Chains A and B, each alone.
Chain A
Amino acid sequence: MTKLSRRQFCMTGLALAGAMPLAGTLPASAQQLKGGTLRVAVLSELANYDPQQLSTVNFHVIKNLYDSLIEYTPEGKPEPSLATAWTISPDKTSVSLTLRDGVTFHSGTPFKSDSVLATLQKGADPKRGKNVFSTMSIVKDWSAPDDRTVVINFKAPVPERQILDLLQFLLPIDPKGIDTVETVPAGTGPYTLVSRAVGQGLRLKANPKYWRPNQPVTQDLVFTVFTEDAAASAALESGAVDIVYGGSSRSAVRLKNAGYQVFAGPGPLVQVFRINSTRGPFRNKSFRQAFNHLMDRASILRVGYAGMGQEVALPWAPASPAFDAAYTKTYGYDLEKAKKLIAASGLSADEIKGWKLLVNGSDEASVSISQIVQGSLQKAGIPVELDMRQGAEYVTALLGGDFAATFGAVGNVQKFPSRVATNSIYRTSGNPVLKDPHPHPDYVAAIAKVDAATGSAADVKAAYDNLNKVMVEEAFGVPTNSYDVGLIVASEKIGGITLDIDNLLVARTIGFK
């Protein structure tokens, strides 16, 4: 088991301070909760059941069908789950896991080391590994000395936090069902699938062989898909559902004022103004740096996210070891500073305009905050038009780099800092927006330095500080604010909410008061 550093402790404390005012109930262990049928309204239709394709659309089901090798507490402290112990070698080139005994998959297959190996194999496969693949880049190979032990070897010494992030990200899949996991869940989780009506909802029932004592609390878990946030809120207010998961911040604030319980987890997303530094005026560093001061973060947070979240100038949540609040003040909204940087860029008035701001038209918050930025740019003498695209059309442009600038959220901001490089705009190689060779070698070197920082606390801090400095100087991604994803709004009769480090819905501890 590992200890939190003082820095981590302070940062996670900050995260909790942010979350606690919203938390209205005690943990499950402190309450006598009753079972029954838990009815949850969700705002997204899940894509599939593969835990290695984790995204916000399946946040509500993954932790109810699967278990991780290890878990994090909301404070970022690692806890045993399917792995009861883990030992990191002194040279930090391997980790040895001891697996829990007496666990079975939903199919009845006993949980053994072969399932972890199969899961690692899938994660390391470029085609099947999906979101886990990039995280597996540090892994050299793996072995299973016996049924209860797995050893993972790394290509080079890896920081401890990065190893723990990998273990937390691995959710063992039943080897028998690994090829069909997209359509049939194959986990050890607290609930099993009963039925699914595509576009309407999902019904799960308690796993009778679940290994955690007295969990899950409720016997049935029913998800109903709502396409409108207001309709989900109305369902909660009418008593048709017990919980709304993943609703908007604005609805959460309104419902909180109406007496409902609101829970925000420690794993927010960070909204980032993404700049394609391979295009037009954005090739100019000074021009890009002006955008650090063109973001009216307070207004963006207020209008886009009802004030829930934090203004940030770096892509970190407070729980991240690289979080540094000082940057938010230094790189705050300041039109005069922005104008000076634009003037220092040497670009003419004609050169700085003529580009469009790509906007996700399907996301109301993005439309609003893009108009705020459009207003700020107008004041700075940069008139731009909004290029509104809907749904898949927007995602294609975003991930294909077909834009000059746009807002797009990044995740994994509470994990090990180099995990940010799993987001498209922050990738150090194969970057779909900035392409290869990466136009910001200082950034690539800074990420590599963080990955190699396994020495003293001072060395690690220096690596983080260097990364932060490089990020604001290169300014191809300008973070504006963190915001809550996976918000939980619950009726007063609900108790036992567990906050997940990634803000996934953990229903096993939830019950009725």
Chain B
Amino acid sequence: MGFSEARRLLRRLLARRGAALSLAFLAVVALAALFAGLMPLDPLRQNIAESLKPPSPEAWFGTDELGRDILARVVYGARTSLVTAFGAVVIAALIGVPVGLVAGFYGDWRDSILMRCIDVLLALPNILFAMALIAVLGRSQGAALVAVGVAGIPGFARIARAQVMALRQLDFVMAVRGFGGGPAYIMFRTILPNALSPLVVQAIVLASIAILLEAALAFLGVGVPPPTPSWGEMLRTGKSYLYEAPSYAVLPGLVLTLTILSFDTIGRALTAIIDRDETDAIHETAGGGRR
């Protein structure tokens, strides 16, 4: 997927209202997370005398049980979520894609062994697997990131394998093979660039899953340790104060929901665009055959 193709994809994405709104929301969240340090917000400053205050001009989202600004914690919590999502996608892609490429390209005993390993990973519920990994690695953002990333490997591996199997017998691949291209060259320089679109969609889907999983781990008390802000941790603590300070759980929950919804909407829009491109290509091929 070249730069011009990416621009074309973005333009088509922005033409869809839901996807455009989602992109705008994610851009705001990402910018807030990126430039949180420049804002007059301190997510760790305690002021017990001002605990559990409702939203006000001084604290737009209200304050938590330790008198900390909930908006500040939501903004800094975005860092936790986005870093986890990005890290998890990188880990999952870096391991899953080569595994899928090798398995799909050779299709022999290597395929059997690699895919049975992937099946084992797939058989484990994500949340249980992540909790087990955190139990071994200890509770930290790094551990959560690795746990979520490892849980995402099967998705990438299976999609990459399916793409390779669909492309490996096509003419352009055979041509490269005929010109003496080695397996690594064919896999990574010939097939992979043509299989990127579904992998990009998978990355976006995994990002939303990663954010949800990180929040779930924090909600279960095994995520990023406090006082580091985390949306899931805020939900976990905030639910105990639903009577006294509903905004404590509701607002971080809303931001979390909208973020996941945005990733999901973009992922669906991309899938629809790619599917349409493929359908058009098939029709084009079929039409050419008739001529």
Q: Would B48 and A302 count as touching, CB distance under 8 A?
A: yes
Q: Which B-chain residue is minimally distant from A369 (CB atoms)?
A: B66
Q: Would B225 and A303 count as touching, CB distance under 8 A?
A: no
B46 interfacial by beta-carbon distance below 8 Å: yes
Question: CB within 8 Å of B: which of A231-253?
Answer: 248, 250
Stretch at the interface among A63-71, A321-329, A359-367, A489-497: A359-367
Q: Which B-chain residue is minimally distant from A362 (CB atoms)?
A: B221
A11 interfacial by beta-carbon distance below 8 Å: no
Quote the shortest CB–CB distance from A91 to chain B (angstroms).
53
Give A30 to B139 CA distance when docked, in angstroms. Answer: 55
Give A387 to B138 CA distance when docked, in angstroms. Answer: 9
A374 interfacial by beta-carbon distance below 8 Å: yes
B179 interfacial by beta-carbon distance below 8 Å: no
Q: Would B221 and A390 count as touching, CB distance under 8 A?
A: yes
Give A388 to B135 CA distance when docked, in angstroms. Answer: 11
Q: Would A372 and B139 count as touching, CB distance under 8 A?
A: no
Contact with A along B194-234 (1 / 0, CB 8 A): 00000000000000000000000000011001110000000
Q: Would A386 and B221 count as touching, CB distance under 8 A?
A: no
Interface residues on B, range: 10 to 19
A96 interfacial by beta-carbon distance below 8 Å: no
Question: CB within 8 Å of A: which of B38-73?
Answer: 44, 46, 48, 51, 65-66
Quote the shortest CB–CB distance from B220 to chain A (angstroms).
9
Q: Which A-chain residue is minimally distant from B52 (CB atoms)?
A: A303
Quote the shortest CB–CB distance from B161 to chain A (angstroms).
37
A contact face: mostly helix, strand, loop, or mixed = helix
Residues of chain B contacted by A13 (CB below 8 angstroms): none
How many A-B contacts at CB < 8 Å in the complex?
52
A368 interfacial by beta-carbon distance below 8 Å: yes
Question: CB within 8 Å of B: which of A103-120?
Answer: none
Given the contacts A254-B244, A390-B221, A364 and B51 also touching, CB distance less than 8 Å: no
Given the contacts A364-B237, A364-B240, A372 and B66 also touching, CB distance less than 8 Å: yes
Quote the shortest CB–CB distance from A182 to chain B (angstroms).
30
Q: Would B221 and A388 count as touching, CB distance under 8 A?
A: yes
Question: CB within 8 Å of B: which of A214-232?
Answer: 229-230
Residues of chain A contacted by B48 (CB below 8 angstroms): 296, 299, 302-303, 372
Q: Would B139 and A388 count as touching, CB distance under 8 A?
A: yes
Given the contacts A230-B239, A303-B48, A372-B46, A385 and B225 also touching, CB distance less than 8 Å: yes
A375 interfacial by beta-carbon distance below 8 Å: yes
B3 interfacial by beta-carbon distance below 8 Å: no
Q: Would B65 and A368 count as touching, CB distance under 8 A?
A: yes
A162 interfacial by beta-carbon distance below 8 Å: no
B10 interfacial by beta-carbon distance below 8 Å: no
Question: CB within 8 Å of A: which of B147-183?
Answer: none
A509 interfacial by beta-carbon distance below 8 Å: no
Q: Would A386 and B46 count as touching, CB distance under 8 A?
A: no
Residues of chain B contacted by A296 (CB below 8 angstroms): 48
Given the contacts A303-B48, A303-B51, A372-B46, A367 and B226 also touching, CB distance less than 8 Å: yes
A284 interfacial by beta-carbon distance below 8 Å: no
B242 interfacial by beta-carbon distance below 8 Å: yes
Give A388 to B223 CA distance when docked, in angstroms. Answer: 10
Please list 23 pairs of residues, one from A and one from B, whose beta carbons are closer than 8 Å in the complex, sorted by A's number: A229-B240, A296-B48, A302-B48, A364-B237, A367-B226, A367-B237, A368-B65, A371-B46, A371-B226, A372-B48, A374-B227, A375-B66, A385-B225, A386-B225, A386-B227, A387-B139, A387-B225, A388-B139, A388-B221, A388-B222, A388-B225, A390-B221, A390-B222
Contacts A303-B51, A375-B44, A388-B139 known; 14 new A-B pairs at CB < 8 A: A230-B242, A296-B48, A361-B221, A361-B222, A367-B226, A367-B237, A371-B226, A374-B227, A375-B46, A375-B66, A386-B226, A388-B221, A390-B221, A390-B222
